[in-house]
Amino acid sequence: MLLVPSHPCSSLTADHYGSAEILFGQFRQAALCPNNRSLASDELPSSPPNTPPVLSSLPWPSSTLPSRPLCATKWCVFRKPQLAFNRARVEDAVRERMRRTMGDTIDLFQVHWQQYDDLDYLNVFQHLIDIKRDGQLKIRALGLVNFDSRRVDEICQAIGPGELVTNQVQVGPTPPSLAPPFSDWVTAD
Protein backbone atom coordinates (compact mmCIF):
# COMPACT_ATOMS: atom_id res chain seq x y z
CA MET A 1 0.00 0.00 0.00
CA LEU A 2 1.39 3.38 -0.98
CA LEU A 3 0.43 6.28 1.26
CA VAL A 4 0.72 9.95 0.48
CA PRO A 5 4.19 11.10 1.58
CA SER A 6 4.46 13.21 4.74
CA HIS A 7 0.75 13.55 5.35
CA PRO A 8 -1.41 10.46 5.00
CA CYS A 9 -4.89 11.60 4.04
CA SER A 10 -6.44 8.69 2.18
CA SER A 11 -6.19 5.02 1.49
CA LEU A 12 -7.69 3.27 -1.49
CA THR A 13 -9.59 0.16 -0.44
CA ALA A 14 -12.33 -2.02 -1.85
CA ASP A 15 -15.77 -3.15 -0.76
CA HIS A 16 -17.00 -3.61 2.78
CA TYR A 17 -17.63 -7.32 2.46
CA GLY A 18 -13.92 -8.08 2.64
CA SER A 19 -11.28 -6.70 4.96
CA ALA A 20 -10.98 -3.30 3.25
CA GLU A 21 -12.86 -1.36 5.93
CA ILE A 22 -10.83 -3.01 8.67
CA LEU A 23 -7.58 -2.10 6.87
CA PHE A 24 -8.81 1.47 6.46
CA GLY A 25 -9.70 1.59 10.16
CA GLN A 26 -6.14 0.58 11.01
CA PHE A 27 -4.83 3.23 8.62
CA ARG A 28 -7.18 5.81 10.14
CA GLN A 29 -6.02 5.01 13.65
CA ALA A 30 -2.35 5.15 12.63
CA ALA A 31 -2.90 8.62 11.17
CA LEU A 32 -4.52 9.93 14.35
CA CYS A 33 -3.13 10.59 17.80
CA PRO A 34 -4.39 8.55 20.77
CA ASN A 35 -6.96 11.23 21.65
CA ASN A 36 -8.42 10.93 18.11
CA ARG A 37 -7.11 14.28 16.90
CA SER A 38 -5.22 14.63 13.68
CA LEU A 39 -1.46 14.70 13.92
CA ALA A 40 0.08 18.13 13.54
CA SER A 41 2.35 18.54 10.53
CA ASP A 42 5.46 18.65 12.74
CA GLU A 43 4.44 15.31 14.27
CA LEU A 44 4.40 13.56 10.90
CA PRO A 45 7.43 11.88 9.36
CA SER A 46 8.86 13.63 6.33
CA SER A 47 8.05 10.61 4.15
CA PRO A 48 7.06 7.02 4.78
CA PRO A 49 9.95 4.56 4.65
CA ASN A 50 10.90 3.42 1.14
CA THR A 51 9.04 6.28 -0.56
CA PRO A 52 10.08 6.40 -4.21
CA PRO A 53 12.28 9.47 -4.87
CA VAL A 54 9.84 10.85 -7.43
CA LEU A 55 7.15 11.05 -4.71
CA SER A 56 9.49 12.33 -2.00
CA SER A 57 10.33 15.35 -4.11
CA LEU A 58 6.72 16.42 -4.68
CA PRO A 59 5.42 19.37 -2.68
CA TRP A 60 2.60 18.47 -0.30
CA PRO A 61 1.38 21.81 1.08
CA SER A 62 -0.52 21.15 4.28
CA SER A 63 -3.14 23.76 3.34
CA THR A 64 -4.35 21.57 0.46
CA LEU A 65 -4.59 18.35 2.44
CA PRO A 66 -7.40 17.28 4.73
CA SER A 67 -6.67 17.47 8.44
CA ARG A 68 -7.69 13.82 8.90
CA PRO A 69 -8.04 10.71 6.76
CA LEU A 70 -11.13 10.81 4.57
CA CYS A 71 -13.41 7.82 4.89
CA ALA A 72 -15.39 6.58 1.90
CA THR A 73 -17.08 3.21 2.04
CA LYS A 74 -20.02 1.36 0.62
CA TRP A 75 -22.85 -0.77 1.89
CA CYS A 76 -23.84 -3.53 -0.49
CA VAL A 77 -27.29 -5.10 -0.36
CA PHE A 78 -27.09 -8.21 -2.54
CA ARG A 79 -30.34 -9.98 -1.68
CA LYS A 80 -33.86 -8.85 -1.08
CA PRO A 81 -34.17 -8.72 2.71
CA GLN A 82 -36.88 -10.68 4.47
CA LEU A 83 -37.92 -7.50 6.30
CA ALA A 84 -38.08 -4.00 4.90
CA PHE A 85 -35.31 -1.65 5.98
CA ASN A 86 -36.62 0.60 8.72
CA ARG A 87 -34.52 3.43 10.14
CA ALA A 88 -33.09 1.24 12.93
CA ARG A 89 -31.79 -1.33 10.41
CA VAL A 90 -30.24 1.40 8.25
CA GLU A 91 -28.63 2.96 11.35
CA ASP A 92 -27.22 -0.47 12.22
CA ALA A 93 -25.62 -0.67 8.77
CA VAL A 94 -24.07 2.78 9.22
CA ARG A 95 -22.81 1.88 12.71
CA GLU A 96 -21.26 -1.32 11.37
CA ARG A 97 -19.38 0.69 8.71
CA MET A 98 -18.19 3.08 11.45
CA ARG A 99 -17.12 0.22 13.69
CA ARG A 100 -15.11 -1.42 10.91
CA THR A 101 -13.50 1.86 9.81
CA MET A 102 -12.73 2.74 13.45
CA GLY A 103 -14.22 6.21 13.38
CA ASP A 104 -17.26 8.29 14.13
CA THR A 105 -17.53 9.90 10.69
CA ILE A 106 -18.05 8.59 7.18
CA ASP A 107 -17.23 11.24 4.60
CA LEU A 108 -18.84 9.34 1.72
CA PHE A 109 -21.38 6.59 2.36
CA GLN A 110 -22.22 4.80 -0.89
CA VAL A 111 -24.90 2.16 -1.42
CA HIS A 112 -24.96 -0.71 -3.92
CA TRP A 113 -28.35 -2.38 -4.42
CA GLN A 114 -28.38 -5.63 -6.38
CA GLN A 115 -32.12 -6.31 -6.77
CA TYR A 116 -33.84 -3.44 -8.55
CA ASP A 117 -37.21 -5.20 -8.32
CA ASP A 118 -37.07 -4.49 -4.57
CA LEU A 119 -37.92 -0.78 -4.37
CA ASP A 120 -36.95 -0.61 -0.70
CA TYR A 121 -33.81 1.26 -1.81
CA LEU A 122 -36.01 4.37 -1.98
CA ASN A 123 -36.83 3.98 1.73
CA VAL A 124 -33.19 3.27 2.53
CA PHE A 125 -32.09 6.53 0.94
CA GLN A 126 -34.79 8.50 2.71
CA HIS A 127 -33.57 7.00 6.02
CA LEU A 128 -29.97 7.87 5.09
CA ILE A 129 -30.97 11.48 4.33
CA ASP A 130 -32.73 11.69 7.71
CA ILE A 131 -29.72 10.15 9.49
CA LYS A 132 -27.35 12.55 7.73
CA ARG A 133 -29.51 15.57 8.60
CA ASP A 134 -30.07 14.76 12.28
CA GLY A 135 -26.31 14.34 12.75
CA GLN A 136 -26.32 11.67 15.46
CA LEU A 137 -24.40 9.41 13.08
CA LYS A 138 -22.00 11.55 11.07
CA ILE A 139 -22.36 11.00 7.35
CA ARG A 140 -21.06 13.91 5.30
CA ALA A 141 -22.16 12.80 1.80
CA LEU A 142 -24.15 10.04 0.11
CA GLY A 143 -23.48 8.21 -3.12
CA LEU A 144 -24.49 5.28 -5.28
CA VAL A 145 -22.62 2.31 -6.70
CA ASN A 146 -23.57 0.90 -10.12
CA PHE A 147 -27.09 2.33 -10.26
CA ASP A 148 -28.52 2.78 -13.74
CA SER A 149 -29.94 6.09 -14.89
CA ARG A 150 -33.56 5.12 -14.27
CA ARG A 151 -32.86 4.28 -10.61
CA VAL A 152 -30.64 7.36 -10.15
CA ASP A 153 -33.55 9.49 -11.36
CA GLU A 154 -36.03 7.65 -9.09
CA ILE A 155 -33.82 8.18 -6.06
CA CYS A 156 -33.16 11.85 -6.87
CA GLN A 157 -36.90 12.43 -7.30
CA ALA A 158 -37.60 10.72 -3.96
CA ILE A 159 -34.94 12.43 -1.84
CA GLY A 160 -34.55 15.76 -3.59
CA PRO A 161 -31.86 17.48 -5.61
CA GLY A 162 -28.26 17.72 -4.47
CA GLU A 163 -28.37 14.89 -1.96
CA LEU A 164 -26.27 12.41 -3.97
CA VAL A 165 -22.70 13.31 -4.83
CA THR A 166 -21.50 10.18 -6.68
CA ASN A 167 -22.53 7.19 -8.70
CA GLN A 168 -19.49 4.92 -8.86
CA VAL A 169 -19.88 2.85 -11.99
CA GLN A 170 -17.92 0.01 -13.49
CA VAL A 171 -15.93 1.08 -16.51
CA GLY A 172 -14.53 -1.29 -19.06
CA PRO A 173 -14.15 -1.65 -22.82
CA THR A 174 -17.93 -1.95 -23.17
CA PRO A 175 -19.41 -0.70 -19.91
CA PRO A 176 -23.10 -1.64 -19.80
CA SER A 177 -23.68 0.90 -17.01
CA LEU A 178 -22.75 3.76 -19.37
CA ALA A 179 -24.82 2.56 -22.30
CA PRO A 180 -27.65 4.85 -23.43
CA PRO A 181 -29.65 6.36 -21.90
CA PHE A 182 -27.13 6.78 -19.04
CA SER A 183 -24.54 8.45 -21.24
CA ASP A 184 -27.18 10.91 -22.46
CA TRP A 185 -28.32 11.59 -18.90
CA VAL A 186 -24.78 12.32 -17.68
CA THR A 187 -24.15 14.91 -20.40
CA ALA A 188 -27.53 16.62 -19.99
CA ASP A 189 -27.49 20.13 -18.51
**Omega before 49 within 30 of 0, i.e. cis:** no
pLDDT bin (cut points 50, 70, 90) of residue 184 is: low
> Which residues have CB under 8 Å from 181's CB, separation 6+?
149
pLDDT for residue 8 is more than 50: no
Q: Are strands 142-145 and 108-113 parallel, antiparallel or unpaired?
A: parallel
Which homologous superfamily does the CATH classification assign to the domain defined by 20-187? NADP-dependent oxidoreductase domain (3.20.20.100)
pLDDT of residue 69: 80
| CA quadruple 178, 179, 183, 186: dihedral sign | negative
Dist. CA 167–CA 40, nearest whole Å = 34
Q: How is the chain split into domains, by residue range? A: 20-187
Q: 108 or 3: whose pLDDT is higher?
A: 108
- Tell me the per-residue pLDDT of 125-177, one tens digit each, with 9 for 90 and over: 999 999 999 999 999 999 999 999 999 999 999 999 899 999 988 766 655 55
- Tell me the per-residue pLDDT of 31-76, one tens digit each, with 9 for 90 and over: 775 555 554 544 444 444 444 454 444 444 445 555 678 888 999 9
Q: 181 or 111: whose pLDDT is higher?
A: 111
Mean pLDDT over residues 99-120, rounded? 92
pLDDT of residue 178: 53
pTM over 0.85: no
Our separate counts of H helices and E strands in the chain read 6, 6
pLDDT bin (cut points 50, 70, 90) of residue 26 is: confident
